[in-house]
Structure 1
């Protein structure tokens, strides 16, 4: 007799090593997977690493930003803007840092819709309502305080009789969910259309070579120790080395 077993779902935080219990599976993309750790860092405009932190390979980059900034502030460093990639631009990061007087500048994820239906950008979102592409308005909404999201519900009768329904929803009615910090995101999206944003992103590009320098020449290509605490020491030493190199370079160029 043969017994067919379904493959179990992968455990989200699965232990991958009996000798290094902090290491985890991670992925830079669908094709680039690894086991171990990842390193996030903050670099100033003049090219110095201000803070660096190693985390398990399965950690999400967006979750690292606030702890990095808080630790940096505790050490006496200040900042008015933080420029990063898409993951750092999550609305929770933007809101929390705004309360600290810091603006997050980052791209937004591109809108995707596997059913090729109307994306959210086709809807006009007002203060107390939403207007759909067929010019129907709804002011019926629900606020989820736990997720900090507001969901607008269109009338079922309006959706069922709408000639645009097949392009809009496969459900009985369309819903639109936005963050309660929608106005903050709206201002950020408008800023991202400006030339100033393009200049900011040029600054963002400078940290990739710095990360590459630590990786290729100063030990971050491979974890030399077991355990997150020791990996953080390794990352800190790498950051100190590139900072000393940067200081020597600036001094040799007559930087005061």
Structure 2
């Protein structure tokens, strides 16, 4: 919500719905229900509207309990409720957040979102390489001039490693061996 106010578009996957219905990929998960925030009613995919909105707290969020009498006469009840004599409970966030999460989950199934996320994965790979190869997470020295020099030399080392990988066209299909950094291998090649 804060990112949207600042005009920042976040390209990150949301956690999946962990309800039993969503995990089994059968039945009615939370996305299948329509929430009418003004009248405080929930409509199921069978077009059955709840008679009440009974909020309770579940995991710190409001959970809406749909009365068992609303679902009892329907033949698809087993696809919605697991308990024999229970009622369905939907955990909802605040209205704005609920709608934003629903829209983001729908968007992340599209091909355009997948293409955007692939770009992010490339950038994350570069950052991970910088952390793994040069240990940039912690400065080795004290003082801003020395740390600035360390960062500049680390960036140069990463560029050298990436150029070496590009020029030698290393295949990623090779079996994994004990890890030796590319910078160490390059140093051994240069001294040999």
Please report the TM-score for the alignment, with normalisation by the length of structure 2: 0.56
Question: What is the match of residue 176 of structure 1?
Answer: 90
C-alpha change, 1:178 and 1:137, in structure 2 (3 Å) is same
Question: What is the match of residue 104 of structure 1?
Answer: 10
- 1:241: how far off? 4.0
C-alpha change, 1:111 and 1:207, in structure 2 (3 Å) is same
Q: Which has the higher contact order (CA 8 A, sep 6+)?
A: 1
Question: What is the match of residue 203 of structure 1?
Answer: 119
Question: For residues 122 and 213 of structure 1, what CA distance do their matches in structure 2 show?
Answer: 41
Question: For residues 68 and 54 of structure 2, what CA distance do their matches in structure 1 show?
Answer: 14
Question: What is the match of residue 35 of structure 2?
Answer: 125
- 1:196: how far off? 3.3
Give the secondary structure class of the aligned counterpart of 1:103: coil
C-alpha change, 1:114 and 1:196, in structure 2 (3 Å) is closer
- 1:217: how far off? 2.4
1:16-44: CA deviations, max 9, x gaps? xxxxxxxxxxxxxxxxxxxxxxxxxxxxx
1:115-161: CA deviations, max 9, x gaps? 745322222233343211332212514376x94x3422212212333
Please report the TM-score for the alignment, with normalisation by the length of structure 1: 0.44
Question: For residues 179 and 208 of structure 1, what CA distance do their matches in structure 2 show?
Answer: 30
Larger deviation, residues 109-118 vs 173-182: 109-118
- Structure number having the greater strand percentage: 1
Question: For residues 157 and 36 of structure 2, what CA distance do their matches in structure 1 show?
Answer: 52
1:177-215: CA deviations, max 9, x gaps? 122111222332343344432231122111233234224
Question: For residues 205 and 215 of structure 1, what CA distance do their matches in structure 2 show?
Answer: 15
- The answer (yes or no) to whether the contact 1:137–1:154 under 8 Å persists in 2 is no
- Structure number having the greater helix percentage: 2
Give the secondary structure class of the aligned counterpart of 2:139: helix
- 1:166: how far off? 2.1
1:210-239: CA deviations, max 9, x gaps? 23422442136xxxxxxxxxx6435x7775
Structure 1, unpaired ranges of 5+: 1-94, 221-230, 249-256
Question: For residues 143 and 101 of structure 1, what CA distance do their matches in structure 2 show?
Answer: 34
Question: What is the match of residue 152 of structure 1?
Answer: 64
CA RMSD of aligned residues (A): 3.5
